[in-house]
Structure 1
Amino acid sequence: MTETLHMSPTRQAATRSEQVAPNALMRVLLDSGYALSAFPISLSAFVLAVVLFSTGVGLSILVGGVLLLTLCVMVARGFARLERHRVRTMLGREAATPRYQCARSDDGFVRRMLTPLRDPQSWLDVVWSIAGFATGLVAFVLAVVWWAGALGGTTYWFWQTFIPDNPDDTGLAELIGLGDGRVAESLLNLTVGLALAVTLPWVVRFAAVLHSSLAVALLSSRAELQEEVSRAEGGREAARRAEASSMRRLERDIHDGPQQRLVRLTMDLGRAQKQLAVDPQRASETIDGALAQARETVAELRALSRGIAPPLLVDRGLSAALAEMLNHSVVPVTAHVEVGEALPPHVETAVYFVVAEAVTNIAKHSGARSAHVSVVDTGDGVSIRVEDDGLGGAHPAKGSGLAGLQQRVTAVDGLLEVVSPVGGPTVVSAFVPVPGARGHG
């Protein structure tokens, strides 16, 4: 069982099935097909966009003009969706589809017609329909010239025999001083054809990249911005959920533990006060019991404080806090910890609780005999891996703390992956990024 828990809408949208890279011949054919089809598609988009836009602007003082502008925008959207699909399927490039503004179900006819015109991406689609004609034409010309030259030159020796031979005709080979006759002409065309055939893969690749780069810039760049915003909003929401969950758990633990002990301590001290006058020996025993209750309460409060912010983590840093926590683990743990001393506090806290929750789950649910913990500062973040030899079958829905761990990792824009097939082993992997870290541009 493999469960990838991410933790941001952005990266969930970026998660896709791996595609098998095409071989060299297929790559050339796909690039050529993309470049050759770019011209007829971009020509259609250009004509429709220009005609509808110019007519709509000219008639904009009338209702019909606004409707034509809306139609222009919707036609451009259709060509934009087609182009993103072509980029993804034929070139294997990422081309995310942005979220368009949509009219509400209770909107009237006029508002429905105006909604596409208020969407910035709609106008980027129109710009693409017009500007894409230029790059589509260039890509088409390059592909046609190279394919025609390569095929024609390398086969000239064959179809040359079907050309009438006029002694008065002057061929290219003779004009540039390479000799006259069919043999010289055939050798020259073969040389040119082979040169074009050899450079064909790079030329059609350049043509495809030229056209698709403009498409991605105009049609998908806004989607990336939307994903960044969604990720930030998702992180804030996850942080709020994690904070609320932590507060509820802390309130419950205080109510069920220290609060009950303090109530009993108060009652014992009141009983001891009454016993002092009539039975000093009994009062002494009651006070001894109250002292034991006080010590247990203090120990429990210290344990709860570690759940908020472990004192050792604040005082001596992540390495020392992890070492102390792992030394007290019920299951024997081997550890490999390589972290710097300049990590932001929220990163140290997140890493500590990922390891602590994973080790706690091992002790409670896995039936493991041993575990291994690896925490490494990679320069742009902290990589965490916790592996055990237990029974496996861990899943967030089972209430083993993984759901809460997911929220905590999401709150710091991190990644969490749980691989836990039935029968084991279970591997919990996480990555907590460091904002503005070494290694980030």
Structure 2
Amino acid sequence: MTNDTLNSTTGASDTTGSPNSATLGFVQPTSKPADAGLTTSGQTPSGQTPAHPSDTGPSGYLGLWARIPRELGFLLPTLLIVIASLTVLVTLFSTGLSLVAVFVGLFIVVAALYAARGFGVVELTRLRWAGQPVITQPQWTPRGEPATPLRAILGPLVSGHYWLYLLHGMIVNFIVGVVSWSITIVWMFGALGGLTYWTWSWSLPDNTESVGLFGLVTGSFGPGSTQNLAAENVLNAALGLAFLLTLPFVTRGMVLMHQGIARVMLGAWSSEVLQREVADLSASRGAAVSAEDQSLRRLERDIHDGPQQRLVRLQMDLASAERRLDDDPDAARQLLVEAREQARDTLEELRALSRGLVPPILQDRGLIVALESLAARSTVPVHRELQVDRDLRLPSEIERSAYFIAAELLTNVAKHADATSLRLRLELRRVPEDDSTWLDLWVIDNGHGGAVLREGHGLAGLDERLKGLRGVLSVRSPHGGPTAVGAHIPLVSDPGSSLTRP
């Protein structure tokens, strides 16, 4: 059987009263986005981009203040970063252009483009750390084309994304960074200076030539004017308070300005996203067809090796009984008894095969009851953690796939894992980054481990089935155990349209 560290995100406690997993030698589930921590067969959920965990703090004005540390962490180092980017890119690009006639300049221009890509990735990473939604990066190497040395050298020269990254790092981000950094510094020190003015205003020189904020507002400056220190303190404190109260809006606006520019200049184009989606859909359709073909072939083999052979034997027994009916009634009666047993066994086998097509309990009573039935029939004790409403109904193809995957995994545990206990976990998980819902099915055993996702093995068939649903199979099974296998199936973005209650 097979296993993977559980990376589910509901964080719900075990409501089934199962024993502590530590006593069974299980891997304890962690609360981590599935798209950020799955160990898979090199696949990622279609359309999913690994994202930084979104903010889960208070909303409204308090929520803006909760984001202040991360946004200041983005804005305050911006000046140094944009100056470094400008210096490096201008130096490389101008040097390369000046030497392009002697051919070596071409390589320096390519180096400038790669450096621009690096600075662009740094900008996207900083925005993600600042709490902004993840921006999908361009597809730097076209799908299906090898990364040859010639492509690595000449590819950036014909790629529009590299030149956009160069324009962003050398000109646009420098201008925007200087502006956003300057405004942020003004607001921060305006708030700090205004609110603390009363503590150090006494140390300012007292002469008629100095003009304070109160003097500018009231026009009381110049020869013969007097300063009102108390009014000056109050006015500066009020201005500092105004700067402080509006600081979250300013930092949010500056970060959003960087985010919008980065989305346009550093993100993948909509046409590329569409092409990638079409390619993923084609791969999913091919995987679904392949999985269906394998299922039909397996069913054909099972019928040939099972019920068909029994029916042949039944036909022979009935023919033999017919021949002996007159001369040896006792032998004919014995043959009829054996034929009846053959017919009963054949019927049971056909029922088992029909359950492999569309299990009646799944069709009539839903996924939760069907999984409980599987767990009850398992030869290995199963601790159920079915954290989904029993009345909730999913699309039929998702319920059917989840049932068959669970059945296959439980069978694998019984046959190969040498386990004494296992956990069957089912839950729904929301991904806030793209407002999608995923169904997570985990089977975790305390067996000897060593399961692998390899072509031609049983897990490969499960992986193909999941690809047909644009899902992901995650496997972790170190030698010595434990083993964890997770099946992650995406639902539609609006769960209300795909999850129904009878």
Alignment TM-score, normalising by the size of structure 2? 0.62
* In 2: Cα distance, 1:144 partner to 1:300 partner: 77
What secondary structure sits across from 2:134 in the alignment?
Answer: coil
Mapped contact 1:420–1:426 kept (Cα < 8 A)? yes
* In 2: Cα distance, 1:199 partner to 1:209 partner: 15
Report the structure, 1 or 2, having the larger helix content.
Answer: 1
Instruction: Show the 5 A alignment for 1:355-370.
Output: 356-357=407-408
Q: CA 1:67–1:377 in 2, change beyond 3 Å: closer, same or farther?
A: closer
- 1:86 paired residue number: 126
Greater Cα shift, 237-246 or 123-132: 237-246
Instruction: Show the 5 A alignment for 1:323-334.
Output: 325=373, 329=377
Mapped contact 2:5–2:484 kept (Cα < 8 A)? no
What secondary structure sits across from 2:208 in the alignment?
Answer: coil
| Aligned partner (choices 397, 400, 403) of residue 451 of structure 2 | 397
* Structure number with higher relative contact order (C-alpha < 8 Å, ≥ 6 residues apart): 2
* In 2: Cα distance, 1:287 partner to 1:157 partner: 109
- 2:50 paired residue number: 14
Q: CA deviation at 1:293?
A: 1.9
* In 2: Cα distance, 1:325 partner to 1:288 partner: 33
Q: CA deviation at 1:9?
A: 1.1
Q: CA deviation at 1:125?
A: 1.8
Q: CA deviation at 1:142?
A: 0.9
Mapped contact 1:409–1:416 kept (Cα < 8 A)? yes
Instruction: Show the 5 A alignment for 1:89-100.
Output: 89=129, 94=134, 97-100=137-140
Amino acid corresponding to residue 465 of structure 2 in structure 1: R
- Paired residues, number: 430
Mapped contact 1:143–1:204 kept (Cα < 8 A)? yes
Task: Say yes or no: does 1:121 pair with 2:121.
Answer: no
- 1:352 paired residue number: 403
| Aligned partner (choices 203, 209, 219) of residue 266 of structure 2 | 219
Q: CA 1:87–1:323 in 2, change beyond 3 Å: closer, same or farther?
A: closer
The one-character-per-residue Cα deviations of 1:147-168 (angstroms, maximum 9, x if unpaired) are 3433444455566566554425
Q: CA deviation at 1:143?
A: 1.6
Q: CA 1:163–1:50 in 2, change beyond 3 Å: closer, same or farther?
A: farther
Q: CA 1:222–1:401 in 2, change beyond 3 Å: closer, same or farther?
A: same
- 1:304 paired residue number: 353
| Aligned partner (choices 220, 223, 227) of residue 181 of structure 1 | 227
Mapped contact 2:429–2:439 kept (Cα < 8 A)? yes
* In 2: Cα distance, 1:19 partner to 1:170 partner: 45
Q: CA deviation at 1:119?
A: 3.4
Q: CA deviation at 1:351?
A: 3.5
Mapped contact 2:437–2:490 kept (Cα < 8 A)? yes
* In 2: Cα distance, 1:323 partner to 1:432 partner: 16
* In 2: Cα distance, 1:358 partner to 1:10 partner: 21
Mapped contact 2:423–2:443 kept (Cα < 8 A)? yes
- 1:203 paired residue number: 250
Q: CA deviation at 1:145?
A: 1.9
What secondary structure sits across from 2:390 in the alignment?
Answer: strand
- 1:339 paired residue number: 392
Task: Say yes or no: does 1:136 pair with 2:183.
Answer: no
Mapped contact 2:184–2:250 kept (Cα < 8 A)? yes
* In 2: Cα distance, 1:394 partner to 1:381 partner: 33
Instruction: Show the 5 A alignment for 1:14-413.
Output: 14=50, 26-27=69-70, 29-37=72-80, 39-41=82-84, 43-44=86-87, 47=90, 70-89=110-129, 94=134, 97-101=137-141, 104=146, 108=150, 112-129=152-169, 130-154=171-195, 156=197, 164-177=205-218, 180-181=226-227, 183=229, 184-221=231-268, 225=273, 232=281, 235-236=284-285, 239=288, 242-243=291-292, 245-247=294-296, 249-269=298-318, 271-272=320-321, 275=324, 279=328, 281-310=330-359, 316=364, 318=366, 322=370, 325=373, 329=377, 337-340=390-393, 344-354=395-405, 356-357=407-408, 383=439, 392-393=446-447, 397=451, 405=462, 407-413=464-470
The one-character-per-residue Cα deviations of 1:64-120 (angstroms, maximum 9, x if unpaired) are 886676455334213212323433456576355544128857665xx5543223434
Q: CA 1:170–1:119 in 2, change beyond 3 Å: closer, same or farther?
A: closer
* In 2: Cα distance, 1:138 partner to 1:81 partner: 21
Q: CA 1:437–1:176 in 2, change beyond 3 Å: closer, same or farther?
A: closer
* In 2: Cα distance, 1:408 partner to 1:181 partner: 81
Mapped contact 1:150–1:193 kept (Cα < 8 A)? yes
Q: CA deviation at 1:380?
A: 7.3
* In 2: Cα distance, 1:338 partner to 1:362 partner: 28
Q: CA deviation at 1:139?
A: 0.9
Q: CA 1:325–1:147 in 2, change beyond 3 Å: closer, same or farther?
A: closer
What secondary structure sits across from 2:45 in the alignment?
Answer: helix
What secondary structure sits across from 2:451 in the alignment?
Answer: helix
The one-character-per-residue Cα deviations of 1:125-179 (angstroms, maximum 9, x if unpaired) are 2343343344323312212322343344445556656655442555442232286
Q: How big is the alpha-carbon RMSD for the aligned residues of Structure 1 and Structure 2?
A: 5.5
* In 1: Cα distance, 2:429 partner to 2:75 partner: 45
Alignment TM-score, normalising by the size of structure 1? 0.69
Q: CA deviation at 1:33?
A: 1.8
Mapped contact 1:238–1:407 kept (Cα < 8 A)? yes
The one-character-per-residue Cα deviations of 1:403-426 (angstroms, maximum 9, x if unpaired) are 6555534432346789999xx999
Q: Percent identity?
A: 35
